[in-house]
Amino acid sequence: MKDRLFEVIKKARDGYDVGLDSLDDAMKDWLGRRGFETRDEIEELIVVSRGNLGEALHVLYCVLSVTITRIPRYQDSADWKEPVISWNNIGRYSKEQSEAVANLYYGR
């Protein structure tokens, strides 16, 4: 699945028009399992990511690679402890951009 994801990201960076309609069912399923099931939810991800679909997928992948191991998505509120995440690990994306995508993901 990671190969398909990076293929879409590369096409977008190379200037190809990568729209929602060009995603195959596997990519739509991957997004759906992460809470982005409808066209509106995916378009919101694109807006929050401040780019095109390829950039949105890359930001989401980078944010998930940092947060998924540190923040359990479903956790009893009694056990909740705010994690300490250094958004500098994201690299090319700003702290605000990374937090916006993380908040969008965890808000679902």
Predicted local distance difference test score (pLDDT) of residue 73: 55
CB 54 within 8 A of CB 8: yes
Tens-place pLDDT, residues 36-92: 999 999 999 989 888 788 888 888 888 877 665 555 555 555 555 555 555 555 566
Sign of CA dihedral 29, 35, 40, 44: negative
Quote the number of domains for the chain.
1
Range of the domain at 71: 2-106
Residue type, 16: Y
| Residue 55 and residue 93 in contact, taking contact as beta carbons nearer than 8 Å | no
pLDDT at 43: 92
pTM over 0.85: no
